[in-house]
Amino acid sequence: MTISSLTLATRLIGQSSVSSESSRPIADDVSNLLADAGFRITQYVYKTKEAVKGEKNKKVEVEKVNVFAVKGGDGQPALALSGHLDTMPYSEDGWNTDPLVLTERSGLLYGRGACDMKGFVALAMSVGMSIPAHELKRPFGLILTSDEEVGCVGVRRIVEQRRADKLEPIAKNIVIGEPTNLQPFILHKGYIYIRVLLRGKAGHSSEPHKGLNPVERAVPDVLWRINQLKESLGQIRDARYEVPFASLNVGVITTGEEAKKNTIPQVCTIELDVRTLQGQDPHEIVQALRKHIAPDGSIDGIAVEVQLVRAPTPPFETAPDAPLVTNLVDIFGKQPASTSFNTEGGILNSAGCTCVVCGLGSIEQAHKKNEYVAAEFFSQKVSDGYERLVRRFCCSEVEP
């Protein structure tokens, strides 16, 4: 059974699968389609706590599902194509089309996930369906994950489960189809998400002597000290990147949903990220931040806590002469490069897989209203390119 990539993309984009929702419906849909096409299906299931929209401080347990589909023999796939099933949130406000309807206008295909990254998932499924199992001398795999958009949670669960079960890495070689305009990316930085909590004493602005304002007493010092660490990180360089040092960005300063101009807030939260170079220890950076911001845990009576919000994502690097890289260069005619955005590649590389990031469309369209991918990426030429890659690794007498 073969279904065109465009038909599959229409089907996948028609299903809401934002990260805060259960991925069970879309995971079951792709599992059933792939099982009918001769794939053996393994689902890695886990649960998360998600906020209930419109209900303050209420969370419910939500089921998440990763899909691992294998075709053509037993054992570790020689090659897998990988993509995530979840998308960023969407609203029809600001969209010129229905975000859950794949719509073509002037050679562009609009829809939530068209670029990031249901378009590639659809293409990968179509390519896998089109190759008969008896032609595969080595197994071929599809890895379809949940919760990539909220910290690569799903792929972490796969790696953890396989380690616990003492299984080999999920595939020998993996193409992660994040949007790269078909250029192989073989290098990106790691990622650390940090929260700084400043706790004072709440009160009313008319009686400042009865409160302790964390914004006034601590925020200026904290930002100054963060910037000192930022300057220190900038002294270590890697010329392979457009931004050749570990970047640090303060993106959020908030006193909460109920912030008012006439109240003294009890808590102020500062959120920042650090994008680390190869060889930098994320835990050392977090510890340095703790010691530098408030070595004794407070500033002018304000309690200071530096939190690592979730496990860091490691940097990603694959050798430019790796067979997966050289074959992608040969097929699509674009030289390998580094990228500034983060992917599941660092986690999968750390688990023993060889990964390259190479997919449809541009990252410039991801996470935006009116997200689109050029229709040319669904051409037979592009599908044939990925099929040639699969056949070289899984159908030839000798693996590259």
Q: Are residues 153 and 57 in the same domain?
A: yes
Instruction: State the pLDDT at residue 53.
Output: 77
User: 220: which residues sit within 8 A by CB, 6+ positions away?
Assistant: none
Domain membership of residue 231 (yes or no) is: yes
Q: Are residues 122 and 168 in the same domain?
A: yes
Q: Are residues 128 and 163 in the same domain?
A: yes
Q: Are residues 204 and 80 in the same domain?
A: no
Which residues, in sequence order, are bridge partners of residue 313?
191
Q: Are residues 296 and 324 in the same domain?
A: no
Domain endpoint, select from 264, 288, 308: 308
- The domain that holds 147 is classified in CATH as 3.40.630.10
Q: Are residues 22 and 129 in the same domain?
A: yes
Domain membership of residue 400 (yes or no) is: no
E strand or H helix that includes residue 215: helix 214-217
Residue carrying structure tokens 């006034």: 216
Please give the average pLDDT of every successive group of 10 residues along the chain, which has 400 residues: 92 96 97 97 95 80 97 94 96 92 97 96 98 96 96 96 96 98 97 97 94 96 96 95 95 92 96 96 95 94 96 95 98 95 95 97 93 96 98 93
Q: Are residues 328 and 296 in the same domain?
A: no
What is residue 149's DSSP assignment?
G
Residue carrying structure tokens 């650390």: 192
- The domain that holds 285 is classified in CATH as 3.30.70.360
Rounded-to-integer distance, Cα 160 and Cα 294, Å: 34
Range of the domain at 235: 192-308
Q: Are residues 30 and 135 in the same domain?
A: yes
Domain endpoint, select from 288, 308, 328: 308
Domain membership of residue 299 (yes or no) is: yes
| Contact status, residue 213 vs residue 264, Cβ threshold 8 Å | yes
Q: Are residues 249 and 106 in the same domain?
A: no
Domain membership of residue 399 (yes or no) is: no
Catalytic residue numbers, as ranges: 86, 148
| Contact status, residue 143 vs residue 324, Cβ threshold 8 Å | no
- Euclidean distance between the first and final Cα of the chain, in Å? 28
Domain membership of residue 337 (yes or no) is: yes
Instruction: State the pLDDT at residue 364.
Output: 93
Q: How many domains, the chain?
A: 2
Q: Are residues 198 and 73 in the same domain?
A: no
Q: Are residues 269 and 144 in the same domain?
A: no
Global confidence as pTM: 0.94
Q: Are residues 144 and 286 in the same domain?
A: no
Token output for 192: 């650390």
What is residue 201's DSSP assignment?
B
| Contact status, residue 271 vs residue 219, Cβ threshold 8 Å | no
Domain membership of residue 81 (yes or no) is: yes
Domain endpoint, select from 258, 287, 308: 308
E strand or H helix that includes residue 298: strand 298-299
Instruction: State the pLDDT at residue 123.
Output: 98
Work out the angle at residue 80's Cα, subtended by the Cα atoms of residues 74 and 83, and round it to the nearest 5 degrees.
135
- Tell me the DSSP string of 156-189: HHHHHHHHHTTPPPS-SEEEE--SSTTPPEEEE-
| Contact status, residue 384 vs residue 397, Cβ threshold 8 Å | no
